[in-house]
């Protein structure tokens, strides 16, 4: 169970702009949490430098140094566990995590995914959305489970798909809503108002009937 003022570990593979949104929210006093470590599968990930610039411990492990995905994940999550996080936030972490590592950390991992789940799981979500001709696209924060992008959805942010959109334009529109979506989701978890238990999501101790939407997200107590 996640309760107030908790310790966060953030996993990221790239630029780390969502990590930066969390760092900025904590610095501004808008998020009652501490990032105790940032971890990446890419030594050159900009996310690692963002962490170091903020005085946060950062580490990378290369999957090429391990014989299997399971061996890499065992070492990677041993490093994550060493900082004793209460919540593990996958924010642009691009590797599929072994089922065993997820199952050993039930109700402790969330992921930011650039689509309105359950639509468009996996990679190239903006391309998938354009090919499908949908009118809306967006981002979701969901509980990590062994199924790919298959866990219960905590919150979503929606954006329109506009005439003439290409992947870059649609991606930029989605990216703009990802930051507040992730910060709000983590804030509610850190406050204890939102909790994960037994694969279910509870808001103020009542089962969450539908994913939260930014405009409908209740204010902090």
86-117 in b/e burial notation, b at 16+ Cβ within 10 A? bbbbbbbbebebbeebbeebebbbbbbbbbbb
Rounded Cα distance, 197 and 201, in Å: 6
pLDDT of residue 176: 95
CA dihedral 28, 25, 171, 87 (to 10 degrees): 170
pTM: 0.94
What average pLDDT does the chain have? Answer: 94
Catalytically annotated residues: 113
Q: How far is CA 29 from CA 25, 26, 33, 187, in A?
A: 6, 5, 9, 11
Residue 217 confidence class, pLDDT cut points 50, 70, 90: very low
Residue 3 pLDDT exceeds 80? no
The answer to whether 66 touches 75, Cβ cutoff 8 Å, is yes
Residue 76 pLDDT exceeds 70? yes
Residue 5 confidence class, pLDDT cut points 50, 70, 90: low
pLDDT of residue 221: 36
Rounded Cα distance, 137 and 170, in Å: 8
Residue range 7-216, CATH number: 3.40.50.170
pLDDT tens digit sequence for 114-145: 999 999 999 999 999 999 999 999 999 999 99
Report domain extents, the chain: 7-216
pLDDT tens digit sequence for 178-208: 999 999 999 999 999 999 999 899 999 999 9
State the residue for tokens 């930051």: 179
pLDDT tens digit sequence for 11-50: 999 999 999 999 999 999 999 999 999 999 999 999 999 9
Torsional class of 107: left (φ above 0), alpha (ψ -120 to 50), beta (otherwise): left
The answer to whether 102 touches 145, Cβ cutoff 8 Å, is yes
């Amino acid at each position: 169970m996640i309760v107030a003022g908790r310790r966060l570990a953030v996993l990221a593979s790239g630029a780390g702009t969502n990590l930066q949104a969390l760092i900025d929210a904590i610095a501004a006093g808008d998020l009652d949490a501490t990032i105790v470590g940032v971890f990446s599968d890419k030594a050159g990930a900009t996310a690692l430098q963002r962490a170091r610039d903020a005085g946060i411990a950062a580490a990378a492990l290369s999957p090429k140094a391990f014989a299997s995905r399971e061996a890499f994940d065992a070492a990677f999550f041993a490093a994550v566990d060493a900082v004793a996080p209460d919540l593990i936030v996958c924010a642009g972490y691009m590797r599929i995590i072994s089922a065993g590592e997820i199952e050993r950390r039930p109700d402790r991992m969330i992921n930011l995914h650039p689509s309105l789940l359950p639509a468009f799981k996996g990679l190239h979500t903006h391309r998938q959305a354009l090919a499908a001709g949908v009118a809306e696209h967006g981002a979701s924060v969901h509980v990590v489970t062994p199924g790919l992008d298959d866990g219960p959805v905590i919150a979503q942010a929606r954006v329109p798909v506009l005439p003439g959109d290409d992947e870059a334009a649609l991606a930029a529109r989605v990216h703009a809503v990802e930051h507040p979506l992730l910060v709000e989701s983590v804030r509610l978890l850190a406050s204890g108002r939102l909790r994960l238990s037994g694969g279910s999501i509870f808001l103020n101790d009542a089962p969450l009937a539908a994913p939260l939407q930014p405009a409908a997200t209740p204010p902090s107590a």
